[in-house]
Structure 1
Amino acid sequence: MSHTDEPALDPDLFAPYGRLVELEVLGRAVRVPERNSLLRGFQYLSVETISYGDFCWNGDCTNCQFWYREGGQPQDKTALACRFEARDGLVITRLAPQVRIKGVTE
């Protein structure tokens, strides 16, 4: 990682962003680009495992499904990471087996 704490990635992969949002994935605090899908955020964290993973990127395959909580809600909700925008305070409690994030699930 560079001195800016951002991995060296092709900037064209991401929608324009001004900052990183903080969220929790399986008990680990991470930071990902705002105004991007959560799947792009996972790619930001683990470029090789997500870039070469079995994802359609358009919501058809459901391989990027995840379970989450936010705002103190007691029950998990489910969503697709390719269709869900990353945001501060999100707590991800479970990931589909296809979502492998270096340093988090591996």
Structure 2
Amino acid sequence: MVEYILKPAQGENYHIIHLTACEIDKSLADNIRIKVANCSPSGRAVLLARYLVELGEYRAARKYLVSLLSEARENGVLANDISLAGVYSCLGLTYARQGFHGDALRAF
């Protein structure tokens, strides 16, 4: 469950998202830790969004992904980054899971 999302502090370019996991299997938690450790910073952003989608937190995931895309447009943060495709894919997935198929097609 998403507890809260903090906007970036001055001079920082990342959001802080506080999650609370309930009834989570230890092996699943270990798997998440391994994936996070093996990702680039931009890859972690996509991984977090995918976890939010899997938790059913579509609104939080979409808000986070849209903020990443607007930041990418403004600052070129994800320009030529392989994770940018993952951001669009994950955004499309959030729309598709909620039945917004037209929006999903535009995002993919």
Higher share of residues assigned strand: 1
Higher share of residues assigned helix: 2
TM value normalised by structure 2: 0.28
TM value normalised by structure 1: 0.28
- Asked which structure has the greater CA Rg, the reply is 2
